Structure 1
Amino acid sequence: MNDVRSTPHRWRSVLTLIVLAPLVGEFLLGNTPISDLGALLLFIPLYGCGALLVREAARHTGRGWPTMLLLGAAYGLFEEGPVDQMLWNPHYGGVPFGLVYAGTHVPLLGTSVALLQDVVSMHMIWSICVPIALVEAFGREPQRPWLGRIGLGVTGLVFAAGSLGLAALQYAYNDAFMASAGQWTVGAVLIVGLVAAAFLVGRSPGPRSLAAAPAPWRAGCAAFALTSAYWAGQELLRDHVPDWALALGWLLLAAAALVLGLRWSRGCDWGAEHRVAVAVGALLTYVWAGFPQAADSDAPFAVAVTGNAVFGAGALVLAWAAVRSVRRHRADERAGGQCRADGRA
């Protein structure tokens, strides 16, 4: 394990991340109204500790964003599978998921391809990776771990206890629904496969390109455009195009993000400013996407809009502060004007 003793302000970073992850994943999106802010205490053990464990698993093993993205996808399947069983419950939360996602249901998977895509997108990007990137922007050594063995153990126990508690609550709330053994098996295989893939990813990102990376603002705009295209499809096209066409559109967006990410991140001067710009671009998508999401919730319209305005304003302030902080530290990324080959970044 990497040494954490000299990591400055690490406990402040830990506390910020475990609070920020559920604020972005639930409240900024509009799934949970501001009137239920007390539910944050229930979300912190799952969302917060989950994001922290993903981050620490990558940083302790000398890995970086490919590992965190794959672990974030595994987290999404874990939360919506074993914890609340939304992947398998056709009437989850009183919503007819079986009808909404029926067009891409695959019996062998025991769930819908489109639902899997939504779960992976939302949790991998916004519940896990965006909060991690934003919190790391405030540190001078973003690749250093924050927790030692005891901290990791406590975090793991809190995550496990929170997951079990929420699973019990969801089981009672959803009329004691229980997925079949086949569904549990497929879910476990997918989760374990993603975790294994995350640690098969090497520590080195490969050779750097001689070509320069795009300006950070361009990377941020690309992130905003791709993530906004995903949410626009969810909001505007779901009822008007074939379900498999929407699933194919997701694959095309994911492929575009992968190609751009691999190409740009190998650029000579890709660094912390670019990573923060990408996170900010995705964060701003949730700022606007939260309004239609909240409008479809059970909360009164005034409460929903007020919550979106408050959390959206907070997201804008956080984005500004993260960009400002990483610009102060950019000398560490570009020492002497040379490219910095950091395999974990």
Structure 2
Amino acid sequence: MPSRTSPTGAKAERTAVSAPRPYHRIRLALALFFLAPLIGEYLLGNQPLTALPFVLLLAPMYGGGAVLIREVTRRAGRGWPTMIVLASAYALVEEGPIDQMLWNPHYGGYDMAGAYAGTYVPFLGTSLGMIQDVLAIHTVWSICVPIVLVETFARDSYQAGGPRPWLGGRIGLPLVALAFLADSVFLSYEQQHSEHFMASPAQLIGCGAVILALIAVAFRLPARPTPHAGRTVPRPRTVGAVAFAAASFHWARGGLLPSGVPDWYDSALWLLVAAAFVTLTLRWTRSPAWTPAHRLALATAAVLTYIWVGFTQSPSLDTPLPTALTGSALFSLAALLLLHRAHRTLTRSAARDRTPFHAHQAVPRVP
């Protein structure tokens, strides 16, 4: 007589099989550790192919920040609202105390003061346009997009309870925190000496206060939004198309307004579009029909945006044009292959579980 397995036993067996093993969790953490700077700097076109070894210096800050945000959020039993706010705090940490790009008028040898003069706020010592760019770039692309992509490959992302922490609290997490802190201090020291610039104490204290406030807000947000049964959500492709349009607008908005229009109109238009997109996305994510496929569609749209932006950014690098474009092409190809594999993994996971995505009610539903 063939042996029979009770439904409870089968469920336990499936959970045990699909639970992430220690080596798999470490691989995921390492993938996020290096993917964050590869997207945040190289795919964007800020670093040439010849500077690829430099990723080892950038990873502890970019990747360390992404891993810390992801791990702390998952350990606290929270979801994407907390991660997004923590990512915005990271954005201010990187471009505030570390790089000091928020206040340096000649950062990286560029005339930042002239480029952002139209929205300069004397009280802040920086411009509104600069703050908008910093928050958008690092919150979305440097932190959230890499986390979404790597979590797609986590075997527990599609189970009840949602993604779990990858690193242990005794060794793994403290090591990442130490690497992030050490690299941040080192890069801050290097920036001060290479740029010959130091922000004022008032600027640093004010920025630090905002960072602490964001961290406090992140952990006061609801752990998991309450779904609204009556709300619907478009197909993932439609969500991705809307996200691609919004992300592309962020980068192309400078050419949308006629010449001579004050830069304040540009910033106001950015605020309107950003508010509309965030409101729409929050509404979608409160629907029970919101799935990991929709979340991956948002990340895909962001990566595709960086692909076309990278080809426009890389020619301005201090490298020969063929080298710059070759780097953009190779990084873009790698990004497309990663997206393809992520979508295939998502599809296989749904088929393996034989459960519609929306049945996993405990999975965070905010992108």
TM-score calculated relative to the size of structure 2: 0.88
Aligned partner letter, 1:217: R
Q: 1:337 to 1:108 in 2, by over 3 A?
A: closer
Contact 1:213 1:266 in 2 (8 A): no
Q: Contact 1:273–1:330 (CA<8 Å) still a contact in 2?
A: no
What are the residue-to-residue correspondences of 1:55-94 with 2, within 5 Å?
55-94=70-109
Q: Deviations over 1:187-242 (max 9, x none)?
A: 11221111111111111211333333211111111111110111111466596542
Of stretches 300-309 and 239-248 in structure 1, the one that deviates more from structure 2 is 239-248
Is 2:138 aligned against 1:118? no
Letter in 1 for 2:74: R
The 8 Å contact of residues 208 and 341 in structure 1, kept in 2 or not, is answered as: no
Q: State how far apart, in whole Å, the 2-side matches of 1:202 and 1:245 are.
A: 34
> 2:47 aligned with 1:26, yes or no?
no
For structure 2, the residue ranges without an aligned partner over 5 or more in a row are 1-18, 158-162
Match of 1:233 in 2: 253
Contact 1:104/1:112 (8 A) holds in 2: yes
- Higher mean C-alpha displacement, 28-37 vs 245-254: 245-254
Counterparts of 1:251 and 1:121, CA distance in 2:
11
Contact 1:63–1:343 at 8 Å: present in 2 too?
A: no
Determine the structure 2 residue equivalent to 1:251: 271
RMSD: 2.0
Match of 1:157 among 169, 173, 178: 178
Q: Map Cα deviations across residues 314-342 of structure 1 (whole Å, 9 max, x no partner).
A: 11111111111111122588836864322
Following superposition, the deviation at residue 148 of structure 1 comes to 1.3
| Amino acid in structure 1 at the alignment position of 2:343 | V
Separation in 1 of the partners of 2:258 and 2:94?
24
Q: Which amino acid aligns with 1:158?
A: A
Give the residue type in structure 2 aligned to 1:168: Y
- Indicate the SS of the match to 2:47: coil
Look up the equivalent residue of 2:172 and give its one-letter code: G
CA contact (8 A) 2:148 2:299 kept: yes
Matched residues in 1 for 2:351 and 2:287: separation?
Answer: 17
Does the 8 Å CA contact 2:20/2:155 hold for their aligned counterparts?
A: no
For residues 294 and 337 of structure 1, what CA distance do their matches in structure 2 show?
A: 39
Whether the 8 Å CA contact 2:35–2:63 is kept in 1: the answer is yes
Q: Which residue in 2 is equivalent to 1:167?
A: 188
Which stretch of structure 1 is more off in the superposition, 40-49 or 181-190? 181-190
Matched, 1:309 2:324: no
Residue aligning to 1:98: 113
Give 2:63's aligned residue.
48
1:130-188 residue CA offsets vs partner (Å, 9 max, x unmatched):
0000011112213211011121111100000000111111111102x111111112211
In structure 2, the partner of 1:12 is 27
Alignment of 1:132-211 (within 5 A): 132-142=147-157, 143-149=163-169, 150-175=171-196, 177-211=197-231
1:241-294 per-position Cα deviation (integer Å, ceiling 9, x unaligned): 421111112111211221111111112221111111110011100000011111
Pairwise CA distance, 1:5: 7.9
Q: Point out the more displaced range, 203-212 or 325-334.
A: 325-334
One-letter amino acid of the counterpart of residue 154, structure 1: L
Range that drifts further, 244-253 or 39-48:
244-253
In 1: Cα distance, 2:122 partner to 2:70 partner: 34
Tell me, in whole angstroms, the C-alpha distance in 1 between the residues paired with 2:274 and 2:139: 12
Distance 1:325 1:241, change over 3 A: farther
Per-residue Cα deviation, 1:10-45 (whole angstroms, up to 9, x for no partner): 111011111110000000000011111111011011
Residues 261-340 of structure 1: pairs in structure 2 closer than 5 A: 261-330=281-350, 335=355, 339-340=359-360
AA of the residue aligned to 1:157:
L
The Cα offsets for residues 55-110 of structure 1, whole Å up to 9 and x where unpaired, read as 11111111111111111111111001100111011111111111111111112212
Q: Which residue of 1 is the match for residue 9 of structure 2?
A: none
Aligned equivalents of 2:302 and 2:68: distance in 1?
21
Distance 1:97 1:338, change over 3 A: closer
Q: Distance in 2 between matches of 1:60 and 1:10?
A: 14
Task: Kindly provide the amino acid, as one letter, of the partner of residue 173 in structure 2.
Answer: L
**Local SS of the residue matching 2:219:** helix
Cα deviation, residue 115, structure 1: 0.3
Equivalent AA in structure 1 for residue 181 of structure 2: A
Distance 1:204 1:101 in 2: 38
Which moves more between the two structures, 293-302 or 71-80? 293-302
TM-score (norm 1): 0.94
Code of the residue aligned with 2:116 in structure 1: it is Y
Q: Structure 1 residues 338, 52: CA separation in 2 closer, same or farther (over 3 Å shift)? A: closer
